[in-house]
């Protein structure tokens, strides 16, 4: 297994830089396998969503589709897959940001009864509460 950084996922998804996109495609499609998958951390997932939103202006629905495809890829292993899936659903359904939903899902998975926040938008998500 090898780790993949945000820029590999972004170049593979967006295909906007000829050399880097070609290299990212070769990595994902020719060097990774079910027996030797690429590892994607939750930090990389959060960064990828942020980059697609801020730098590339993808819609929430388009970002959710990208995340879903990453989760479905047999050659990729996503850290905390169930929590990333929950965050993708929250984003897709307009319930909140991917990062906030991921924070809440990871906290619940860690055994937290609630996550305190001053962020009023995040507080609308299950698992968050204003102090």
Maximum pairwise Cα distance, the chain: 49
Domains of the chain: 1-79 (3.40.50.1010), 81-131 (no CATH)
Query: Distance (Å, rounded) from C-alpha 80 to C-alpha 40?
Result: 10
> Dihedral through CA 87, CA 71, CA 21, CA 24, nearest 10?
120
Q: pLDDT per position in the chain (131 positions), as tens? A: 999 999 999 999 999 999 999 999 999 999 999 999 999 999 999 999 999 999 999 999 999 999 999 999 999 999 999 999 999 999 999 999 999 999 999 999 999 999 999 999 999 999 999 99
* Residue 129, SS3 per DSSP: strand
Predicted model pTM: 0.93
Pair 79, 40: CB distance under 8 Å: yes
């Amino acid at each position: 297994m090898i780790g993949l950084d945000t820029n590999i996922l972004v170049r593979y998804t967006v295909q906007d830089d000829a050399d880097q996109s070609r290299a990212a495609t070769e990595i994902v499609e020719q060097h990774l396998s079910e027996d030797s998958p690429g590892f994607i951390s939750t930090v990389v997932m959060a960064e990828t969503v942020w980059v697609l939103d801020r730098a590339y202006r993808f819609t929430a629905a388009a970002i959710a589709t990208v995340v879903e495809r990453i989760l479905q890829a047999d050659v990729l292993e996503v850290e905390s897959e169930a929590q990333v899936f929950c965050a993708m659903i929250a984003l897709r359904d307009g319930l909140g940001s991917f990062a906030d939903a991921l924070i809440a899902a990871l906290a619940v998975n860690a055994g937290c009864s609630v996550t305190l926040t001053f962020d009023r938008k995040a507080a609308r998500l299950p698992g968050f509460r204003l102090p």
